[in-house]
Structure 1
Amino acid sequence: MDSSLQDWPLNASAAEGKGAGDQLLGRFGATWTITLAVLMAVLIVATVVGNALVLLAFVVDSSLRTQNNYFLLNLAISDFLVGAFCIPLYVPYVLTGRWAFGKSFCKLWLVIDYLLCTSSVFNIVLISYDRFLSVTRAVTYRAQQGNTKQAVLKMVMVWVLAFLLYGPAIISWEYVTGQSIIPDGECYAEFFYNWYFLMTASTLEFFTPFISVLFFNLSIYLNIQKRTKIRLDIFHEVQSQSFMEELEMSPEGNFRRAFIKLLCPKKLKIQPHNSLQHCWK
């Protein structure tokens, strides 16, 4: 009995140490935790380096500073910040299953995370719209290529709309409802279980942009198909006309003209390239 009483504190402290180790590993085993950590680290490096190169190219090469490239720059900025700020904070949270940075920083992280992800979606819509204008209204579009103020205004509007979609709700939801439903050690938006808000926001963030991008790209495809058909028709018409002119200049063409002149000289003056069937009409 004495030995069991002496062993109890050791067993309790061992159990406590084991619980702390399990909490450190979180919801995954040691192997999966290390594997996921490495994959996420690779994702962070690829995201940051890739978008940093885009930003560097835009700064160094002044010829890239056209209106359409400004929208690509805006997309690169949002994706760069996702890789540099949002994902690094999400990695320990998803691996350990516990948010360790406090509620205030959680709210800041959520605002920036939702802002950047939404702005990325809106930037893709803006780029598709810009491509749509470049194809369907080519003359007007080329005339406005030097108007960088208009491009910057569209970029700012993307960020404003992206913030207004989720930012005010993340900041003020608990004050409007009078309570916070987020337990300690967790970090997610207060409206996470409000499906009315989620359906409305998802429609504005995903479904409407998806339909818009689909419409713009389908219109571009159909417009290019129409232009290609017109160019082919013109090419065939010019090629046919050139063939007829070459035929008229050849010896066979001279013989044909002389023969038609004998049969219907009046028709030859009016329609020199038509066939003999016009003589009988």
Structure 2
Amino acid sequence: IATTKSTISKLSLGVLVLLAFLMVLLCVVTILGNTLVILAFVMDRNLRHRSNYFFLNLAVSDFAVGTFCMPLYIPYALTGTWHLGRSLCKLWLVMDYLMCTASVFNIVLISYDRFLSVTKAVRITFLFTVLYIPAIKMVAIWALAFLLYCPAILFWEQVAGHSVVAADQCYAEFFDNWYFLLCASTLEFFVPLLLVTYFNMHIFHNIQRRQRRGSAQDCEPARSSSLSWRFCGLPWPGASSPSSEAEDSVSSLTRSWRPAVVANGPSRTETSSTALKRNFSASFCSRTGSKLQRDKKIARSLAIIVCVFAICWAPYSLLMIIRGACQGKCIHNSLYEATFWLLWINSSLNPFLYPLCHMRFRMAFLKILCPKKFAALKSGNTPSF
């Protein structure tokens, strides 16, 4: 921070204007993207699912980054001087650290929820319906995020007895305290990264194990009823998995099964109970294949969100620890500034990852942005959502 003014003074007016435009553009994109997610929850009841409330919690924290943290920091980044006073500086620091940390913890919570839904779906059904209250976990996220940094931001100066921050600067008092930064970064980034990696590995391992088995136990009734593997919506053992989305797999399974039921329908010598067992077996296998496809789609979407999180947060977390260890002498301020904005880019990318990974989000966004096109699709021959 001490070299901010000297670095900025070397930049030409054209470069400063370009930087200002890019910063404002990122701020606007962050606000609009997360506003769209929040509006989708308000307007579309299909999104008001227990798991999706965690995405709403993430969107709220990212929205606050775009509406408060970025706008107040842009003049400071361009001039190298904080003009808004110490009180507003403290408030900005509290909000910035709180929202960014809450965003990370929300990603962990989303990963944990997906992990449970894929690997322990049957065993935790009662827990979901009775004890699993999303509101409690959402509040806990904000409480933990506040406790990690905010008390240190507010009271470090009183405990130390003096301030190390210049009057025209705005950064945390512990900015050069290597021990605190190492502990805080471990809890804010490295532990969450290990957790989401663990959840993802178990999700993919669970899906691969089910694919290798070919859901043999789940489809045993179907095989005894002379139904082929294609009715389960699963590949032959050793074959590659289908590339269709989970939403499309349900309709395709239904289309592929119905003709087979007619072709292999009960003969005159078969009893009605045999036909009923056959129909039930085919329906059961269809649901099994549909769930496997849904879980695979959950795993892909979660992997994308987590990879983006790791790419955006790793440079900042590592440089912050290195910078604190060498008192800012071994890391150029412009490099640290770039990683700082990369961290904020994560808040602008998150709302765009939702429609890429979830059909319901895509349809909700289409309903908000293009209501006429949405009405045409709804009235046409489109998959149910």
The TM tier, using the shorter chain, reads 0.7 to 0.9
Equivalent residue for 1:55, pick from 31, 34, 38: 38
Higher RCO structure, 1 or 2 (CA under 8 Å, sep 6+): 2
Does the aligned pair in 2 maintain the 1:191–1:198 contact within 8 Å? yes
Q: CA deviation at 1:64?
A: 1.2
Q: Deviations over 1:89-147 (max 9, x none)?
A: 11111110111101111011000000000000000000000000001111245555556
Q: Does 1:181 align with 2:167?
A: no
Q: What is the letter of the counterpart of residue 91 of structure 2?
A: L
Q: What is the letter of the counterpart of residue 160 of structure 2?
A: T
Q: Does 1:200 align with 2:183?
A: yes
Which residue in the other structure is 1:103 paired with? Answer: 86
Equivalent residue for 2:102, pick from 119, 131, 153: 119
* Alignment CA distance shift 1:148-1:65 (3 Å): farther
* Alignment CA distance shift 1:98-1:41 (3 Å): same
> How do residues 228-243 of structure 1 correspond to structure 2 at under 5 angstroms?
228-231=211-214, 233=216, 242=226
Q: What is the letter of the counterpart of residue 184 of structure 1?
A: A
> How do residues 1-281 of structure 1 correspond to structure 2 at under 5 angstroms?
26=9, 28-143=11-126, 150-231=133-214, 233=216, 242=226
Provide the aligned length of Structure 1 versus Structure 2.
Answer: 221
Query: 2: CA distance between counterparts of 1:149 and 1:129?
Result: 12
Q: CA deviation at 1:224?
A: 0.5
* Alignment CA distance shift 1:178-1:111 (3 Å): same
Q: CA deviation at 1:167?
A: 0.4
Q: Deviations over 1:159-217 (max 9, x none)?
A: 00000000000000000000011112100000001101000000000100000000000
Q: Deviations over 1:44-79 (max 9, x none)?
A: 111100100000010111221111101000000000
Identity in percent: 54
Q: What is the letter of the counterpart of residue 138 of structure 1?
A: A
Does the aligned pair in 2 maintain the 1:26–1:95 contact within 8 Å? no
Query: 2: CA distance between counterparts of 1:125 and 1:103?
Result: 33
Q: CA deviation at 1:31?
A: 0.8
**RMSD of aligned residue pairs (Cα, Å):** 2.4
Which residue in the other structure is 2:334 paired with? Answer: none
Query: 2: CA distance between counterparts of 1:62 and 1:241?
Result: 40
* Alignment CA distance shift 1:38-1:93 (3 Å): same
* Alignment CA distance shift 1:121-1:186 (3 Å): same
Query: 2: CA distance between counterparts of 1:200 and 1:42?
Result: 34
> TM-score normalized by structure 1?
0.73
Query: 1: CA distance between counterparts of 2:215 and 2:133?
Result: 36
Q: What is the letter of the counterpart of residue 173 of structure 1?
A: W
Does the aligned pair in 2 maintain the 1:67–1:147 contact within 8 Å? no
Q: Tell me which stretches of 4 or more aligned residues in structure 1 moved more than 6 Å.
A: 235-238
Three-state SS of the structure 1 residue aligned to 2:167 is coil
Q: Which one has the bigger helix percentage?
A: 1
What runs of 5+ residues in structure 1 fail to find an aligned partner? 1-21, 244-281
What runs of 5+ residues in structure 2 fail to find an aligned partner? 228-385
Q: Deviations over 1:29-56 (max 9, x none)?
A: 2011100111111101111001000000
Query: 2: CA distance between counterparts of 1:230 and 1:202?
Result: 41
Q: CA deviation at 1:28?
A: 2.6
Structure 1 or 2, whichever has the larger Rg, is: 1
